[in-house]
Amino acid sequence: MAFATKLGSLLKQSVTKHVRSTPSVYVPAIYNAFRCMSSKVFVGGLSYGIDDQALRESFATFGDVMEARIINDRETGRSRGFGFVTFASADEANAAVEAMDGKDLQGRSIRVNIAQERTFGGGGGFGGGSSGGGGYGGGGGGGW
């Protein structure tokens, strides 16, 4: 997290130096990606019946929900029981974590943490699955 904050700050400084002579404001996509990192929360322990819209509605009281996504199994299409909610700001994400972690949602006690960037491969598949990576992972312990 500290690394992402530092890198985001450096990118912002670099862009600011190059943009001063240009009247339009230009924010590169990579800067936006780092800015949004701390505003994404992992939601685990979800009921298999919950969908993206229900997840969005459950977290909308804490701020502007940019995206709410349930993660589905590739083969069956069925929910894997967790998802991610991206807020417009880190403050909104933190408020959601504080309020919703351990609470009941559709009959299940859910875990809500700030999402951590994945630093390892997805696992499984051919060749051991240790290559690749990227994206976000849940914030609390063992792999899925």
**What are the pLDDT digits (tens) for 2-34?**
545 554 555 455 544 444 444 444 444 554 444
Token code pair at residue 140 = 């609390």
pLDDT in tens, 72-112: 999 999 999 999 999 999 999 999 999 999 999 999 999 99
Global pTM reads: 0.60
What lies within 8 Å, CB to CB, of 105 at 6+ separation is: 46, 47, 50, 58
pLDDT reported for residue 117:
83
What lies within 8 Å, CB to CB, of 69 at 6+ separation is: 52, 55, 83, 84, 85
